[in-house]
Chain A
Amino acid sequence: MFSNYNEWLCKTNFSFLQGASHPRDLIERACRLGYQSLCINDFDGAYGLARCYRELEYLKQQHRHNGLKLNYGAEIHLQRDHDLPLLLQDTLVLIAQNQQGYTNLNRLLSFAHRDGKDYANLPLEKLLNSSVDGLIAIQPMRGSIRSNQGIDRHAELKLLFDGRYFLAISRHLHPAEDRWIKTTLQQAADHGLEYVLSQDVFFHNRQQKCVSDLLQAIRCNRVFDQCREHLFPNAERCLHRADELQRLFSVIPGFKAALDLSEVLNQSCQFNLDQLGYQYPKEMIPAGHDAQSYLRQLVARGVRDKFGRQPSAKILGQLEHELSLIDRLNFADYFLTVWDIVSWARKQQILCQGRGSAANSSVCFVLGITSVNPAQFELLFERFVSMERGDPPDIDVDFEHERREEVIQYIYRRYGRERAAMVANVVTFRGKGALRAVGKALGADEKLLRQMSKIASSRYYRGTGTENIVLALKNDYEQQNPRANKISWQLWMRLSEKLHGFPRHLGIHSGGFMLSDKPLDRLLPQEPATMQGRSVIQWSKEDIEALGFFKIDVLSLGMLSAIRKCFDYVQHYYGQSLRLDSIPDDDKPTYAMIQKADTIGAFQIESRAQMSMLPRLKPACFYDLVIEVAIIRPGPIQGKVIHPFLARREGLEPVTYPDERLRPILERTLGIAIFQEQAMRIAIAVGNFSAGEANELRKKIGAWGIKDFNRDLNPLLQKLKQGMRQNDVKPEFAEQILGQMEGFAEYGFPESHAVSFSLIAYASCYLKCHFPAAFYISVLNSQPMGFYSPHALLQAARREGIRLLPISLNHSIWDHQLEQPPGQQSYAIRLGFRLVNGLAESSVQKIIIQRERAGGWSSFEQFTRDCELPRDELTLLSASDLFGEFGDSRSAALWQAEAAPYKPMLDSIEDGIDWRQETKLDSIRKDFRAFKTSLKQHPAEVIRREQWPYAVAVEKFTLSSRLAELSADTDVFVFGMVLVKQSPGTAKGMVFVTLEDEAGFINLAFTPQVYARFYRQVDQQPFLCVVGRLQRVNESHSILVKRVFDPDPNANLLALPKSRPRLASAISTELIKPRAFH
């Protein structure tokens, strides 16, 4: 009787902080237990529906679904009572019977979110006046039943749902919960309502009870003991076996009729997510055209623009091939939509470029969506769109980061809020966040949590797993507090691991847009995003891809802003007009610069790893640059192909192929697989993979976010391994390819993506090579972006011979600009006010207007008389030592600035204070605090010359510029300011630190053992003094650190006084600010 059980109330963990099981666990257990159907109804949204659909589809593929059917619904709050214990919240479950019901459900859910993301609710009056065709309603044995509110509304709801309104009866083996059974039965009898049986599931098995309690504690922001009214009394709200169900429910009067009713209802629910019909918007298609004909027309026009009147037959053939495929797959609308957005951006002078697999498409190239001609690089269109897959294409377009919001708002205007919304991003609990949340629930105090954060943030422990972090915390804690209360470290560890990957809340995707020709409510609900002016759908990128919906990625790229600005500066200062497509190919000086690794500030090839590779790879043409961009990635690194590739390139190793069948695939990369596509094609050629399977592999590898390696990837990799063995591929090569696949899963580039990025990388290098001053100010004026802080960029510019002029009240504007000092030919960089921490642009505009009126100033009094700035702004200028220009010391100016609102009183003579003169180091520190850098001596130089606090003789130390003169494998002492710290996952625990002294960069490498010994110094000290073994390959160097020296604790030179601890970190955080590109 219970073997074909239908469960009607089930929450996944997409009922944020309320459901305690992943959709996968729920679906798998329901299948295993042989349930006939499971209805998913998360609170106030359709958040988990697509996930559950995907999981069931996966199990169907594995033939493990056991006939389970999914029903789709949501539980909506009827009041704003979300902070009450779960059992007291007034809610109603709505379940879609058909497409109409699903649409109605989405409308109601969207309405419930009318006031924002939180506290979604649907007042009963609104529900009673809404269309509920195709919906059934179930009142859980919670909320209104307990407060007796249900009695009043049973009749109304029964009428509204036309007999499709039911009560649910649950039994949880606890008098507190089960006492409501009698009430529910009574109400059913009084109002002539039928009831269904339900376990009212919040987790899939009893073991998850602790996670359920944990989530409640997190939701209430309390410790367990203080939120007991929010916890379930026992672990019975899970999926039970048939025999357990029999024991539970056979005591309920009328249970047979209830089971029969469930059966009937299940039959009546005929809706499935795969029935959703999706169409792309069509408004950009002019009258007289359909999507395909208009696309053809645009492509023809594009061909003329790109290739002139006589394009090659190859191009035309390729375009025809692509157009026919697009036609057969009915994708023309999608291309037109992207073209429409890109065209609009171009009209607004917003620089943009498509990237990713779209660069495989000649159609995208001629439409101007991408800048890569696939024919030139033999890129395959099928990598982008294929008949066999039929998957929707995914076009990512980068826009200038400072102007992307204009594009987003254009899309909202063009298609309307009801048809356009951004894609969601599910924010999950990860490492430190999970540890912190669990610690709080267990009652750890703030001090302990801070200590945990510190340990978890340390590179030594980063990525090492929860267990190591908790053990380190335990050791520290027990050493410091021998008599402290016992803390349940095991529990902390175990719960954090369980919480890992649980959805925390819904965020917004970096740029994904979903557009539809019909209102989105037909497909899924949407809600306002936290960010002003944006709305977001309730599903993530993976969800909509699984259902075959299209999305366009409107991404932002800082370098595009910088390049556009640089074009403007070149036009303004040098009188030359440049465009992306007018930059000459194969410019020799540019490649010479790249080969010398002078690439600070350039796109993609500026990181330490890239810079150390450049002198070895010596890129001499564009494709070399493509390889350079793609090769320093986890894929090739884990595949251990870098050294063989370099050896082959330098002629030290012959170019061979592991199998002749692979020659066409690997020929361009000297027999080595570097790109994702090559790995896929190898899988087809010698791994017995079909194109579909290879694509599956590509999708699994390409998906970002948490991957279940064993479930998602391992079976495919095992198949590949087996296939290669069967095809007699050398075992070493097979291992290499498998390693590479695992690396690609971390982060890897497809060739088309690398080509797109290389175009921008080359453009940035060209500008840096020929217009360095303009290039540096464009990068600085586009901050935040790139890998290096403004300080590092300015130091690099200075080392390249560009003169830097300080921020000046009489000369500077908001942005950095170029200035020709009297009597000099070359331009110098005049720093702009944007460097000053906390200064508002509007205040700077006031200064500039007043300056134009006054013609400049020569004293503090003059300035303050003309510019009535708020005191805070005036103190910011003083702290930046800008009044030094008028002869006032920083301290004196600050003292005066603080009295600025009392200017009339200052007319009376005030006793001056004899301010202590700043030491050089003090002055540099204050500069850093005020405007992120200093134009004075390099701090490392000052310390070395004047205030050396280490026990090692300063004469032993080598400057960065002299490292090249030393022979490899000698021990060197170096000292410098910490600029960048990196510990890439592929480096097996190695930590790389870049120091800077007055002459340049010093690259340090720490083995895991050395780092373990010195990690506190490396993580906390803003300057490092080390000795290590010099290693050199070509022009690049690295020092394998043996020992880190501690400064004299009494010298107190490097760290600032203890009374001002915040300052101590100011320099380090300011300088160590690499911005990794994603």
Chain B
Amino acid sequence: MGLTTEMQTRVIDLAELSAQGEFPAYAAIYCPDSGNPFALSPTVMRWGEGIFLSRLDTCRSFWLEQKKKLRCKLVELFDPLLRHHYGTDYVAVFGQHPWQCLLYLDYRLRHRTQGLYLLQGRLDRNIYKTLDWECWFNPQALLARHLQALNIRGFREDAFRARQAQMRRFIERIGVANPHEMHAADANSIQRRFGKWLGMIWRWSFTDCSELQSFPWVSLRQEPIPAVKRDLEYPVNQWSCIEVLLREDLERLCDQFKHDETQHINRMCWEITLFNQQRVTVDLSFRHPYSLHRDRPGFDTALYQARYIYDALMQQLQARDSDLDLPESMPFICWRIEVRERVMLAPLLWDLFAQQADEIDYQRVKALQNKLPLAFECYHADACFFPEQSFSAVAVGDFQQADFDHYPWSCGASNKPLFYYQSAQPIENPGRMQKFFLERNANQWWLGEDALQSIRDYFILKDRHGRSSWVYRTQDGAWFKQGEFC
């Protein structure tokens, strides 16, 4: 059963906060689908798959101001916001310490309840006291991974795991049902017995909300949207001038990226500000896998689109403003080109026409690629006995020489036809027609029920016109055509 159907929605009224005069310092948020992590705060840490921590105390004033301005309760402020960004399946825990938020979030996820929870609230605080040991230990796996990744001095994951095991053993022996039963133990006592890190976690969990030392916080960097802006020194409406400047800006935009073949800019937004402060936004796009970088140095494709848009725009403006005493056409005073779509892509075309990338005939590629509905492909040997499955399509750039020693059966490929049928066509028994035996195959019998049924004998069948087909016969004597030779 999916999370959505089982979850019960519950939203705590954050008015409780005001009563207590406490504003939550952190929030742990789970959203099954990706959403903007910076919805609540610019200080965010990605904790795990679908889970991130937001630091709220840095923008406390902002949220309180918003509340005041909108004249709403905090809950009315946060809940719609969270719903908007993360959908209805989100789970968010607000509290004073990120670790406590994470512990409680784990509990809520395990109980499949969704919504917004506040650890300062009486109910959740009481539930927090009943968290069992699994709830306490579970989030430590991710914590250990973060500590290890940060290479924190004195932390070794294997030693930490050993300490965890020791503590688990102790708990089992002693029969303490949940961590709260041991709340009287201070962090130092835990540290003496089970090591520094479990002591620290104990401190985070129960004793001191202000203790953040050693918490492995790594802020998520907000990646700026790549863009270039041009403020014209004087208004311009001549295409010849615009073209030169635009080419220069596209070059600048390209330079913002290191030459990285894995990133292709496929769509840009050209936001033009006209003389009357009117803003016109137009798209400049490339058909995948062609891209801005491939358009260098002339940027013919991009500029061609820009010119087309420019012409249309000019006509439109002239028609609209013909009765006004305005310059010949509305000149441009500034523009901004912003990248809207980037594609992660393996190199595709380099090896298509030449071995070396330098020798690529870009003009031909350009001409071809923009006309084709699909990217170019080539074929790669696969570990499969069925001839028709012994090759698979890969991008041109990913092609590697087939390793026949590793997949020895693929060497029979030399007898494969040029054209394959999508699925084998049943044919009548060819009788006395000329047949040449090629091979016997037994493959993937485990997908059916009978191993023998998977055995096939392949032949080249020649008809009286001299045309050759690639056919096979199954064990029960049925014949199928699989492909045609030229």
Return the CB mask of B181-201 against A: 1 if under 8 Å, else 0. 110111011001110000000
Contact of B446 among A224, A916, A1060 (CB under 8 A): A224
Of A207, A225, A1063, the residue contacting B452 (CB under 8 A) is A207
Q: Which of B134, B181, B409, B457 has the most CB of A within 10 A?
A: B409
Within 8 A of A (CB), among B155-186: 166, 169-170, 172-177, 181-182, 184-186
Does A953 count as interface, using CB distance less than 8 angstroms? no
B438 touches A913 (CB 8 A): no
Contact between B441 and A233 (Cβ–Cβ < 8 Å)?
yes
A/B interface sample: 18 pairs, CB < 8 A = A179-B411, A210-B445, A213-B445, A224-B444, A225-B446, A229-B406, A229-B407, A229-B408, A234-B455, A235-B442, A441-B446, A442-B446, A488-B449, A491-B446, A911-B186, A913-B185, A929-B172, A1059-B133
Question: Smallest CB–CB gap between A149 and chain B, Å?
Answer: 13
> CA A177 – CA B170 in complex, angstroms?
61
Q: B325: CB under 8 A from chain A?
A: no
Q: Are B177 and A233 touching (Cβ within 8 A)? A: no
In the assembled complex, the CB of A971 is this many whole angstroms from the nearest CB of chain B, namely: 38
CB distance from B126 to the nearest CB of A (A): 19
Give Cα A87–Cα B411 distance, bound, in whole angstroms: 15
Contacts of A231 on B, CB cut-off 8 Å? 385
Binds B, one of A287-295, A380-388, A781-789, A895-903: A895-903
Q: Check B134 against A1059 for contact (C-beta < 8 Å).
A: yes
| Docked-complex contact A234 and B446, CB < 8 angstroms | no
Contacts of A922 in B (CB 8 A): 175
Interface membership of B211, Cβ < 8 A: no
Chain A positions within 8 Å of B446 at CB level? 210, 213, 224-225, 441-442, 488, 491
The CA of A442 and the CA of B172, in the complex, are separated in Å by: 38
Q: Does B415 contact A (CB under 8 A)?
A: yes
A208 to B146, CA, bound (A): 51
B360 within 8 Å of A by Cβ?
no
In the bound complex, do residue A898 and residue B193 qualify as a contact, i.e. CB atoms below 8 Å apart? yes
Interface contact B449-A910, CB-CB below 8 Å: no
Determine whether B440 belongs to the interface, using a CB cutoff of 8 Å to chain A.
yes
Which residues in window 893-941 of A have CB below 8 A to B?
Answer: 894-895, 898-899, 902, 905, 910-916, 918, 922, 925-926, 929-930
Q: Select B412's contact among A146, A175, A891, beta carbons within 8 Å.
A: A175
Name which of B133, B176, B192, B410 has the most chain A CB atoms within 10 A of its CB: B192
Q: Which 9 A-B pairs have the closest CB atoms?
A: A175-B412, A210-B451, A176-B409, A173-B440, A898-B193, A879-B173, A228-B383, A176-B408, A234-B440
Asked if A730 CB lies within 8 Å of chain B CBs, one says: no
Please, how many angstroms separate the alpha-carbon atoms of A231 and B94 in the complex? 56
Query: Chain B: which residue is nearest A492 at the CB level?
Result: B446
Is residue A875 within 8 Å, beta carbon to beta carbon, of the partner chain? Answer: yes
Residue pair B173, A235 in contact (C-beta under 8 Å) = no
Q: Given A176-B409, A899-B192, check contact A209 B442 (CB 8 Å).
A: yes
Nearest residue, chain B, Cβ from A1057: B177
- Is A191 an interface residue, CB under 8 A from the partner? no
Would you give the shortest CB distance from A420 to chain B, in whole angstroms? 44
Whether A146 touches B405, Cβ cut-off 8 Å, given contacts A228-B385, A235-B442, A898-B194, is: yes
- B443: CB under 8 A from chain A? yes
Residues of A within 8 A of B457 (CB): 173
Task: Mark contacts of B436-474 with chain A using CB atoms, 8 A cut-off: 1 yes-contact digit, 0 otherwise.
Answer: 011111111111010110010100000000000000000
Whether the Cβ atoms of A914 and B184 lie closer than 8 Å is yes
B75: CB under 8 A from chain A? no
Interface-centre pick from A173, A234, A442, A490 (highest chain B CB count, 10 A):
A234
Contact, CB under 8 Å: B182 / A913: yes
Chain A, 163-183, CB within 8 A of any chain B CB: 172-177, 179
Contact A490 B449 (CB under 8 A): yes
Residues of A within 8 A of B188 (CB): 910
- Interface flags for A229-248 (1: CB within 8 Å of B; 0: not) read 10111111000000000000
Q: Which of A174, A229, A911, A926 contacts B441 (CB 8 A)?
A: A174
**Is there an interface contact between B438 and A875, defined as CB atoms closer than 8 Å?**
no
Q: Is the Cβ of B174 less than 8 Å from the Cβ of A895? A: yes
User: In chain A, what residue has the closest Cβ to B194?
Assistant: A898
The CA of A1063 and the CA of B439, in the complex, are separated in Å by: 59
Find chain A residues with CB under 8 A from B405 CB.
88, 146-147
Assess the B440–A236 pair: CB atoms within 8 A.
yes
Q: How many residues of B contact A (CB 8 A)?
A: 51
Q: Which of A87, A175, A231, A491 has the most CB of B within 10 A?
A: A175
Are B175 and A918 touching (Cβ within 8 A)?
yes
State whether B173 touches A491 (Cβ < 8 A).
Answer: no
Residues on A with C-beta less than 8 A from B194 are 898
Q: How far is the CB of B259 from chain A (nearest CB, A)?
A: 37
Min distance, Cβ A735 to any Cβ of chain B, angstroms: 41
List B354-410 residues whose CB lies under 8 Å from chain A.
383-385, 405-410
Closest beta carbon of chain B to A856's beta carbon, Å: 26
Please state if A176 and B412 are interface contacts (CB–CB under 8 Å): yes
In the bound complex, residues from chain A placing their C-beta under 8 Å from that of B409 are: 174-176, 233
Contact of A911 with B172 at beta-carbon distance under 8 Å, contacts A174-B412, A175-B439 already known: no
A229 contacts across to B, CB distance below 8 A = 383, 406-408
Q: Once the chains bind, are B411 and A234 in contact (CB under 8 Å)?
A: no
Name the residue of chain B whose CB is nearest to the CB of A910.
Answer: B189
A479 to chain B, nearest CB (A): 14
B132 within 8 Å of A (CB atoms) = yes
A659 to B442, CA, bound (A): 62
Chain A residue nearest to B191 in the complex (CB):
A902
Does A699 interact with chain B (Cβ within 8 Å)? no
Asked if A206 CB lies within 8 Å of chain B CBs, one says yes
Q: Is the CB of B411 within 8 A of A929?
A: no
* Distance of B407 from chain A, by nearest CB (Å): 6
Least CB separation from B413: chain A residue: A175
| 0 or 1 for each of B419-439: is its CB under 8 Å from A? (1 = yes) | 000000000000000000111
**Contact yes or no, B184 A175, CB < 8 A:** no
Q: Which residues of B contact A929 (CB under 8 A)?
A: 172-173
> B50 → chain A, closest Cβ, in Å?
22
List residues of chain A with CB within 8 A of the CB of B410.
Answer: 176
In the assembled complex, the CB of A1067 is this many whole angstroms from the nearest CB of chain B, namely: 13
In residues 570-602 of chain A, which contact B (Cβ within 8 Å)? Answer: none
Give the distance to chain B from A93, nearest Cβ to Cβ, in Å: 21
A909 CB to closest chain B CB (Å) equals: 11
Find out whether the CB atom of A1063 lies under 8 angstroms from the CB atom of B411: no
Known contacts A210-B445, A488-B449, A913-B185, A233 near B172 by CB under 8 Å: no
CA A213 to CA B452, docked complex, whole Å = 13
Instruction: Tell me which of A146, A233, A913 contacts B184 (CB under 8 A).
Output: A913
Q: How far is the CB of B189 from chain A (nearest CB, A)?
A: 6
Shortest CB distance B197–A (Å): 16
| C-alpha gap A174/B182 in the complex (Å) | 70
A351 CB → nearest B CB, Å: 39
Q: Which residues of B contact A173 (CB under 8 A)?
A: 437, 439-440, 457
A224 to B447, CA, bound (A): 10
Query: Which residues on B sit within 8 Å (CB–CB) of A224?
Result: 444, 446
Residue-by-residue, is A141-160 near B (CB-CB < 8 Å gives 1, otherwise 0)?
00000110000000000000
Q: Which of B169, B192, B442 is close to A234, meaning CB atoms less than 8 Å apart? A: B442
Are the CB atoms of A899 and B442 closer together than 8 Å? no
CA distance A913 to B410 in the complex (A): 70
- Smallest CB–CB gap between A470 and chain B, Å? 13
Say yes or no: A905-B452 contact (C-beta < 8 A), given A88-B405, A229-B383. Answer: no
**A176-B409, A234-B441, A898-B193 known; A911-B184 Cβ under 8 A:** yes
Q: Which residues of B lie under 8 Å from residue A207 when comparing CB positions?
A: 451-452
> How many whole Å from B413's CB to the nearest CB in chain A?
9
Tell me the smallest distance from the CB of A939 to a CB of chain B, in Å. Answer: 15
Question: Which of B174, B407, B440: most chain A Cβ within 10 A?
Answer: B174
Complex contacts, A878 vs chain B, CB 8 Å? 173
| Bound CA–CA A916/B405 (angstroms) | 68
**B residues in contact with A930, CB < 8 Å:** 173
Report chain A residues within 8 Å CB of B185: 911, 913
B 70-126 contacts with A by CB, 8 A: none
Contact call B172/A1060, Cβ cutoff below 8 A: yes
